[in-house]
Structure 1
Amino acid sequence: MTDQNSCKGTCFCQAVELTVTGEPVVMGYCHCESCRAWSAGPVNGFTLWKPDAVSITRGAEHIGEFQKTERSIRKWCKQCGGHLLTEHPTMGLTDVYAAIIPTLDFKPAVHVHYQETVLPIKDSLPKQQDVPAEMGGSGVLLPE
C-alpha cells in the first residue's frame, strides 16, 4: 500500500480510476465458472473490500455493468472493456480485481469455489468448496 494506506487502480485504457483505502477484508483466488468466464482465465485473484473503502476517482461515466445473478454486479470500462470490480450485495462486499491494483501487496489467504477448479493449485492455502461460512457458504474445506 502507499503511505496514505490507499492504492489506485485503473482499467486497461486508464479512463477509469478507482481508489481502495484501508485493508481488504480478505484476498484470495476464485475458481468459479462465472469468474473464469468473466476474466478469460482459469482462476481470478480477488480483493474483497467494504463498499465504503472503494471509490471511483475518475471516469465513472465510462463504467458499464452486468448483473447475471443477485449475488454479483460486474463492472467494466465501456471504452476499453477493462474489468474493474464486482459488487457482491448479498455479502456486503466489493471485489476489486487484484490485477488492477498494482501497488497492493497481494497476500492471498484462501481459494473459493474450489470444487469448480480447472487449475489445481498446491500452495497450502485453505480450499473452500464454495465460500467460508461467515460469507454465507458451507465452510466445507476440500483437500489440496
Structure 2
Amino acid sequence: MPHPTAHEPATGSCRCGALQMQITAPPFMTAACHCDGCRKMSSSAFSLTMMVMRDAFKVTAGAPVEAGRGDSDMLTHYACPQCHSWCYTDVAGMDFVNLRPALFDAPAWTEPFIETQRAEALPWVPELAPHAFDRFPDPAAFPELIAAFARARP
C-alpha cells in the first residue's frame, strides 16, 4: 500500500474489526521498544510503533477503552473493547500518537527505524533498526532522526 496523502487516507483496524482507525498522513517515525511494559502489552519480545501527528489520526468506528497507563501518567494505552487488541498510545503533552503499525496494511510501517530501551532487550533479539538507543534518544536528537527517516523512505 502506498503511503497516504491528505487525499488518500489509510485505514486500519483491531483484530476483530470493531475499532477502526484512519490516518491522513504517513508516520514520521517507526520504532521498536524493548521495555518490559511494551513487551507485556504486546505479548512479544518488543512492540512496534509508528508515530503519527495527532491531527492526522482519528477513530472512525467503535469506542476505544483505556487499557492501562505507562510508567508515568504521560502514556495512556487504548484497546478495542471487543477483542482487547492494543491499538494506540496517547502521549500526554505531545502532538502525536503511537499507533500499532501492524493494524494497517502497509508492511513498510512495521519496519523500525529506531529502537528504544535496548538495555532491556531480550538477549536473543538482534538489533533491528539502523538507530538503537539503550534508553530513549535525547529529545534534541529527534529532529535529525525524523529528517533521516524521511530521507530513507520513498
TM-score between the two structures when normalised by the length of structure 1: 0.82
How do 1:16-95 residues align onto structure 2 when only pairs under 5 Å count?
A: 16-60=19-63, 63-65=64-66, 66-68=68-70, 69-95=72-98
Question: Which stretch of the first structure deviates more once superposed, 95-104 or 120-129?
Answer: 120-129
Q: Give the AA of the match of 2:120.
A: E
- Cα RMSD of the aligned pairs, angstroms, is 2.2
SS in 2 for 1:102: coil
Could you list the runs of 4 or more consecutive aligned residues of structure 1 that deviate by over 4 angstroms after TM superposition?
none
C-alpha change, 1:135 and 1:50, in structure 2 (3 Å) is: farther
Equivalent pair of 2:115/2:128 in contact (CA under 8 Å): no
C-alpha change, 1:86 and 1:136, in structure 2 (3 Å) is: farther
Equivalent pair of 1:7/1:104 in contact (CA under 8 Å): no
Q: Give the AA of the match of 2:54.
A: P
1:70-110 C-alpha deviation (Å, 9 max, x unpaired): 12100001111112101111443211001111235324211
How many equivalent pairs are there? 135
TM-score between the two structures when normalised by the length of structure 2: 0.77
Gaps (5+ residues) in structure 2?
143-154
Equivalent pair of 1:109/1:126 in contact (CA under 8 Å): yes
Aligned twin of 1:117: 121
How far 1:43 moved relative to its partner? 0.9
Q: Give the AA of the match of 2:118.
A: Y
The structure whose residues are more often strand, as a share, is: 1
Q: Give the AA of the match of 2:9.
A: S
Gaps (5+ residues) in structure 1?
138-144
SS in 2 for 1:34: helix
The structure whose residues are more often helix, as a share, is: 2
Q: Give the AA of the match of 1:128.
A: F
In 2: Cα distance, 1:25 partner to 1:131 partner = 17
